[in-house]
Structure 1
């Protein structure tokens, strides 16, 4: 299957580790793919998507990147880092209610030289694309050609980052002499899941791809993934043969909402860190791994021998407010 060209930015392939103590606790082999180790400034899953999106930007002669996200967006920080590395300008449209501390991803975005524009939650929800288009026109008047990357780089071109990641996993299965019955990823904007699913179907792999959504609901993301697959078809020139019912997105772990942590989620992150020496983040991987463990206990994965969890990074999400919430655990 023909896929678009891409830059080489991430430290790949990322390793796969068996979580020995967790596996013993649950009675099933649980592995983790360390996409939290794709780099330092570019750490996490976003850089895989940016390898494809920014190659397209360069092919179009663009010298400026515009993207959006929450105040602690991992994607926005990674975009600013790659822009600086390649000598491009960057503008980050960040959702904020005001009074944010200069910390975490917000701090690193500033440090990397991004032009940061704040918008209210309502403006972000209803008109973030219009705002980014206005910035494109503003930059054009100054002689720049800007490329807009949507939230999380979750569009057709960006999703190929995880098409390529699934191919990487298939190669590692042979190296490790293990077959993953399930690959499980966090679903926050849909692009990671879409790319994994597209490659999994395209290669007729017997394992299944599961997502655990940490915002909105499963039906919302199924609609999103269907749209992304349509976009990806436009790049491959082929129609992926699949059924919507094959989109395995597990609902029930959004908790109090996006980037809002419940006591049991923070307790789980603490327990997991002490058990395996791996730090999850409170926004994405903490909720998703918590969901995976709960679903294993419920029997959702009873037919699986080997399960692979994708650690998509997010350690910079441990801001002061998150640390204070964790401190309340005592």
Structure 2
């Protein structure tokens, strides 16, 4: 934990270029895989779950796998601070703030919020509490400003401002999803491969995950394709369209000279519903049902939408899923649930005043 070491790619990924030379060990790995007895599955279908919500570092979920490589590069370049960008309840931004503090780096977060709230203190709900406790510098922008300028331009603006102050910033893209960050889930594929070989879980027919910024899906789909896993990978998109993500993932693959078509290694399904970080009653009811039935709590922005999409798929095409062994990747994000308290409270009415005799 917190140690820096040399990184050696799996044998089946040694042709990918560029490959990282070093890694900071920030996560608690391997994350476990266990059977997940979901209700109302098609006949003979088994679902297993990989608990990347348990990677440690203040509930940082899948984000920490990417940060192990990104922050190693930041330190190698002599950075004294990092910048990243996301929504007001971004799990990635919170994970970056914590990881940066572990490695004695200042952290600047550009957070997207509504124009009504952009000039107000953002408060301490959910991820914001952790970010502000560890001393991250929060820079608010409106959704309209974000759309007008784009994440890259906003990041570059802050880079130039900090350089003018004598700082040495390192810019991490939205979700940590660039070709370097993709190595986080190429390595996760190797981890799954090793867990299968060790007999702790079966070989899987299908792998299911949320797709939010593209890097997790790109890395796992590529690693699955190159390794012996060879499952069918399904990415349920929680923002933008599948076509957008096919193109974005292709850019990440091309950045590694992978020589593979994104459409050949992953099936992308629109699962955004009402929109990014907007939850329907049906989605939250499913999260509550699964929490009560299995004890596993899904976040509403990513894994909750992915499970909702998978369940819809299983209802619409039960024949395809019948008898399959499915691995669901739980990417974490529990703190995002606090942003949904008003919607969730009506679903959790099992309380009463104790009657004392």
TM-score relative to the length of structure 1? 0.92
Counterpart of 1:305 (choices 301, 324, 337) is 324
CA deviation profile, 1:39-78 (whole Å, cap 9, x unmatched): 1425210000111111111121111100000010000001
2-structure distance, mates of 1:94, 1:271: 31
Pairing 1:129–2:152 present? yes
- Runs of 5+ in structure 2 lacking a partner? 1-12, 350-357
Q: Which has the larger radius of gyration?
A: 2
- By how many angstroms is 1:102 displaced? 2.1
What's the RMSD between the two structures over aligned residues?
1.8
Pairing 1:104–2:122 present? no
Counterpart of 2:104 (choices 87, 97, 100) is 87
Written as runs of structure 1 = structure 2, the 5 A alignment for 1:1-330 is 1-2=13-14, 3-4=19-20, 5-22=22-39, 27-97=44-114, 98=117, 100-127=122-149, 128-175=151-198, 176=200, 178-203=202-227, 205-233=229-257, 239-242=258-261, 244-251=263-270, 253-299=271-317, 301-302=320-321, 305-320=324-339, 322-329=340-347
CA deviation profile, 1:221-275 (whole Å, cap 9, x unmatched): 1011001111122xxxxx3334634431112x21111111111111101110011
For 2:355, the equivalent position in structure 1 comes to: none
- By how many angstroms is 1:289 displaced? 0.8
- Give the direction of change, closer, same or farther, for the CA distance of 1:272–1:123 in structure 2 (3 Å limit): same
2-structure distance, mates of 1:205, 1:147: 35
2-structure distance, mates of 1:294, 1:243: 24
**Over 4 Å off, 4+ runs:** 23-26
- By how many angstroms is 1:203 displaced? 2.1
1-structure distance, mates of 2:178, 2:280: 30
TM-score relative to the length of structure 2? 0.86
2-structure distance, mates of 1:49, 1:197: 15
2-structure distance, mates of 1:85, 1:268: 36
- Give the direction of change, closer, same or farther, for the CA distance of 1:95–1:206 in structure 2 (3 Å limit): same
2-structure distance, mates of 1:283, 1:327: 17
Paired residue total? 323
| More helix by percentage | 1
- Give the direction of change, closer, same or farther, for the CA distance of 1:40–1:9 in structure 2 (3 Å limit): closer
- Give the direction of change, closer, same or farther, for the CA distance of 1:42–1:21 in structure 2 (3 Å limit): closer
Do 2:60 and 2:92's aligned partners in 1 also have CA atoms closer than 8 Å?
Answer: no
Do 2:42 and 2:321's aligned partners in 1 also have CA atoms closer than 8 Å?
Answer: no
2-structure distance, mates of 1:7, 1:275: 37
User: What SS is found at the alignment partner of 2:24?
Assistant: coil
- Runs of 5+ in structure 1 lacking a partner? 234-238
